[in-house]
């Protein structure tokens, strides 16, 4: 009698594994990524090489979907988070020290194909911006039978944000959590989108500059449809840089052009750029006093005392990382409130960012992420 029990038990276990995908069985699927390419790979993925972690990549999405287990999924990553977003790197490594032991493989043009191939990851996830920069490098990785999947947050569109989040959910087998994130993101955008459609006022003129170089040198401004330029458009502002910066690009404008345009609103984006001590400071490690001192320094530039935005105290700063990622609904809310303060006086972007942390990110909120010269 007992001779048939063991084979039957084995058969039942095998049958259960086939019927139940949660037992670790992989499935081969073909997805269409944000570059429009069809990519075939096995899911759920366990080993991911992350690219563009400092902006527009999948780092935050991974943590939002996987929570505290996210570091286990990272086979390797780029260095842009550590180099360009040091306060975020420090915040996450304080909470997850194991991130410091994850191999580094470079970013975009410095990406080491040999190191990536040697790790044999299940997938490499990069941004559309990064993929365009290093198309030939990624092609070599794909030739080694390692799938490359492209996401896109840089275009700052609801459609591409939604597709990128759902795509990551599909790769990770976290479709339900991804849909929750999409719903949350969409609801937060809806807090401004409908009201913006109903506003019948002349759009304020807006100048946005990346404050990474400090007051002594003009940082990049943003053309139509790219990062902060895209957010200005969506929030019904008139981006003065469109007359000086090509669509989809970022570059510094001529100071004389700015003085001639005399914008209604000036926004200097900030972060933690320790290589430039007088850069605009915002983020996890910043105090209100430090942020205000940084912002005031920009208003001392030659000729800025003649600008209406400076005279009227309509000079602001927002953390540079609050664009091109899953939390950029905060940038939308903040811009809408700056452009149309009466229509959005009940909106509190900072409180909504705190709520997002509580719902989706396994690190604590701290620091200063947006500030006004009026404070």
Residue 61 has pLDDT above 60, yes or no: yes
Residues 173 and 236 in one domain: no
Domain membership flag for residue 189: no
Residues 282 and 358 in one domain: yes
Q: For residue 238, what is the domain's CATH number?
A: 3.40.50.1980
Residues 359 and 251 in one domain: yes
Q: What is the pLDDT at residue 157? A: 87
Considering 127, 146, 178, which residue would you say is the last residue of a domain?
Answer: 178
Q: What is the pLDDT at residue 277? A: 92
Considering 178, 193, 216, which residue would you say is the last residue of a domain?
Answer: 178
Cα separation, 184 vs 343, in Å, equals 22
What rounded mean pLDDT belongs to the chain?
92
Residues 165 and 222 in one domain: no
Residues 165 and 279 in one domain: no
SS3 of the chain: helix, strand, coil, percent, to 5:
50, 15, 35
Q: What is the pLDDT at residue 225? A: 82
Residues 102 and 64 in one domain: yes
Q: Which two tokens stand for residue 82?
A: 């550590």
Mean pLDDT of 243-268: 95
Domain membership flag for residue 186: no
Domain membership flag for residue 20: no
Least confident of 86-90, 157-161, 305-309, 371-375: 371-375
- Rg of the chain on CA atoms, in Å: 23
Q: What is the pLDDT at residue 323? A: 87
Q: Is the dihedral of CA 48, 51, 53, 58 positive or negative?
A: negative
Q: What is the pLDDT at residue 12? A: 44
Residues 102 and 237 in one domain: no
**pTM (predicted TM-score):** 0.87
Cα separation, 235 vs 347, in Å, equals 14
Residues 67 and 156 in one domain: yes
Residues 215 and 79 in one domain: no
Q: Is the dihedral of CA 91, 333, 370, 246 positive or negative?
A: positive
Q: Which residues are registered as beta bridge partners of 31?
A: 39
Residues 103 and 136 in one domain: yes
Q: What is the pLDDT at residue 108? A: 82
Residues 221 and 368 in one domain: yes
Q: How confident is the model at residue 154 (pLDDT cuts 50, 70, 90)?
A: confident
The arrangement of strands across the sheet holding 205-210 comes to 238-239, 205-210, 265-270, 315-319, 370-372
In the chain, where do the E strands start and end?
A: 27-32, 38-43, 48-50, 74-77, 123-127, 148-151, 205-210, 221-222, 238-239, 250-251, 265-270, 315-319, 370-372
Domain count within the chain: 2
Domain membership flag for residue 112: yes
DSSP-derived pairing of the beta strands 238-239 and 74-77: unpaired
Domain membership flag for residue 45: yes
Asked if 102 and 71 touch (Cβ cutoff 8 Å), the reply is yes
Domain membership flag for residue 101: yes
For residue 197, the tally of other CB atoms under 10 A from its CB is: 9
Q: Is the dihedral of CA 202, 236, 296, 246 positive or negative?
A: negative
Per-residue pLDDT tens for 91-125? 999 999 999 999 999 998 899 999 999 999 999 99
Q: Which two tokens stand for residue 314?
A: 């309509």
Q: How confident is the model at residue 24 (pLDDT cuts 50, 70, 90)?
A: low
Asked if 43 and 344 touch (Cβ cutoff 8 Å), the reply is no
Domain membership flag for residue 194: no
Cα separation, 338 vs 266, in Å, equals 10
Residue 5 has pLDDT above 80, yes or no: no
For residue 21, the tally of other CB atoms under 10 A from its CB is: 13
Domain of 79, in residue numbers: 25-178
Asked if 203 and 305 touch (Cβ cutoff 8 Å), the reply is no
Q: How confident is the model at residue 21 (pLDDT cuts 50, 70, 90)?
A: very low
Domain membership flag for residue 135: yes
Task: Tell me what percent of the residues of the chain surpass a pLDDT of 70.
Answer: 93
Q: Which residues are registered as beta bridge partners of 281?
A: 271
Residue 35 has pLDDT above 80, yes or no: yes
Cα separation, 291 vs 251, in Å, equals 24
Q: What is the pLDDT at residue 60? A: 97
DSSP helix/strand/coil, 370: strand
Q: What is the pLDDT at residue 324? A: 87
Q: How confident is the model at residue 263 (pLDDT cuts 50, 70, 90)?
A: very high
Per-residue pLDDT tens for 232-246? 999 999 999 998 999
Considering 178, 210, 231, which residue would you say is the last residue of a domain?
Answer: 178
Residues 256 and 315 in one domain: yes
Residue 318 has pLDDT above 60, yes or no: yes
């Amino acid at each position: 009698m007992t001779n048939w029990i063991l084979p039957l038990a084995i058969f039942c276990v095998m049958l259960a594994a086939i019927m139940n995908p949660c037992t670790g069985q992989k499935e081969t699927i073909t997805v269409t990524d944000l570059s429009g390419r069809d990519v075939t790979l096995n899911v759920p993925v366990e080993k991911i090489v992350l690219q563009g972690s400092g902006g527009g990549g999948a780092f935050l999405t991974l943590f939002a979907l996987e929570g505290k287990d996210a570091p286990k999924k990272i086979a390797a990553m780029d260095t842009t988070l550590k180099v360009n977003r040091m306060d975020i790197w420090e915040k996450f490594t304080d909470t997850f020290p194991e991130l410091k032991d994850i191999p580094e493989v470079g970013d975009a043009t410095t990406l080491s194909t040999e190191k990536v191939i040697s790790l044999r990851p299940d997938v490499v996830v990069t941004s559309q911006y990064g993929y365009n920069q290093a198309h030939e490098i990624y092609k070599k990785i794909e030739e080694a039978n390692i799938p490359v999947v492209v996401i896109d947050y840089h275009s700052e569109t609801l459609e591409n944000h939604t597709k990128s989040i759902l795509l990551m959910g599909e790769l990770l087998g976290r479709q339900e959590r991804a849909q929750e994130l999409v719903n949350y993101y969409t609801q937060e955008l809806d807090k401004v989108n409908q009201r913006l459609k109903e506003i019948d006022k002349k759009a304020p003129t807006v100048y946005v500059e990346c404050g990474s170089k400090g007051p002594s040198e003009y940082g990049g401004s943003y053309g139509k449809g790219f990062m902060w330029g895209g957010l200005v458009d969506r929030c019904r502002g008139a981006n003065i840089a469109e007359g000086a910066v090509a669509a989809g690009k970022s570059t510094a404008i001529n100071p004389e052009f700015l003085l001639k345009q005399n914008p209604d609103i000036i926004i200097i984006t900030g972060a933690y750029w320790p290589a430039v001590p007088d850069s605009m400071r915002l983020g996890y490690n910043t105090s209100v006093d430090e942020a205000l001192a940084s912002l005031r320094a920009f208003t001392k530039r030659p000729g800025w005392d003649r600008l209406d935005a400076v005279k009227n105290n309509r000079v602001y700063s927002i953390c540079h990382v609050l664009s091109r990622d899953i939390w950029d609904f905060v940038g939308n809310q903040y811009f809408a409130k700056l452009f149309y303060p009466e229509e959005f006086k009940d909106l509190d972007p900072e409180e909504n960012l705190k709520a997002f942390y509580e719902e989706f990110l396994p690190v604590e909120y701290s620091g200063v992420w947006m500030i006004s010269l009026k404070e």
